Amino acid sequence: MNNEPTVFIVDDDNEVRAAIGLLMDSVGLPNETFDSAWTYLARFDPARPGCLILDVRMRQMSGLELQQRLAEEPIHPPVIIITGHGDVPMAVRAVKNGAVDFIEKPFNDQALLDAVHRAIEIDAEQRGHALEVASVQERMERLTKREREVLDQIVAGKRNKVIAADLGISQSTVEAHRAKVMEKLEVRSLSELMRAMLMLDPRGA
């Protein structure tokens, strides 16, 4: 599997597609070109890092429609929109929906390269976070039902004595479960535990 960040270029204009590919080649950025959104989707692999340069207006499926399709995936390359002057309102809407940037045609080479490097950095951060979340989820599966109950009470901010009363067990048993929770989740402090839980639920553990 190719884990090197790749610039995926989706544009139904052959000249524009070739020009962007040559620009990426000139700075040593691996790239692949696609003449339609459907062609890209047929080869889409969420495990491959990089970014997506996407034209707004294309036949069959527009750039905005492809962006919406990708938004349904757990992880996908960040999107950079390239657009004609008349498409600026659509491009702005795409940015509001999560696109990293939009670049007007005829595009400035450096502006596009800057956007690409920024998008690749964002992709690396997102993938790193996704790996951390997956690791926490895997460790959560090690907990027994009772340990999950104790964890829920800890996250709610309850003390051992209150947890014991709520669950109808002794305080020493709560302390034993609490130690097991910390061990299985591989955290050394309450603050580390709370950070791990916030990864699973950013709205609040």
Residue 106 sits in a domain whose CATH number is 3.40.50.2300
Same structural domain, 73 and 53: yes
- pLDDT (0 to 100) of residue 43: 94
Average per-residue pLDDT for the chain: 90
Q: What pLDDT is recorded for position 96? A: 83
Are residues 84 and 100 located together in one domain of the fold? Answer: yes
What are the φ/ψ torsions at residue 80 (nearest 5 degrees)? Answer: -115, 130
pLDDT of res. 177: 94
> In the predicted model, what is the mean pLDDT of residues 167-194?
92
Domain boundary, last residue among 78, 104, 135: 135
In a domain, 205, yes or no: no
CA dist., res. 167 & res. 52, Å (int): 51
Say if residue 25 is in the same domain as residue 85: yes
What is the rounded average pLDDT of the residues 133-151?
Answer: 92
Q: Which of 109-123, 127-141, 178-192 has the highest mean pLDDT?
A: 109-123
Residue 202 pLDDT class (50, 70, 90 cuts): low
Least confident window among 9-13, 43-47, 95-99 = 95-99
pLDDT at 204: 47
Could you tell me if 10 and 107 lie in one domain?
yes
Domain with 170 in it: what CATH number? 1.10.10.10
**Pick from 93, 36, 83: which is nearest to 55 by CA?**
83
Q: What's the pLDDT at 51?
A: 97
What's the structural domain count of the chain?
2
15-55 tens-digit pLDDT: 999 999 999 999 999 999 999 999 999 999 988 999 999 99
In percent, the amount of the chain with pLDDT more than 90 equals 62
- Does residue 19 sit in the same domain as residue 95? yes
Average pLDDT, integer, range 169-177: 94
Cα distances (Å, whole numbers) of residue 202 to 51, 54, 154, 195: 25, 30, 17, 9
Is residue 65 within 8 Å of 75, Cβ to Cβ? Answer: no
What does the pLDDT read at residue 90?
Answer: 80
Q: Which domain holds residue 55?
A: 6-135
Question: Residue 186's pLDDT is what?
Answer: 92
pLDDT at 66 over 80: yes
Q: Which one has a higher pLDDT value, 200 or 37?
A: 37
pTM: 0.72
Higher pLDDT, 151 or 94: 151
Picking from 120, 135, 150, the residue at the C-terminal end of a domain is 135
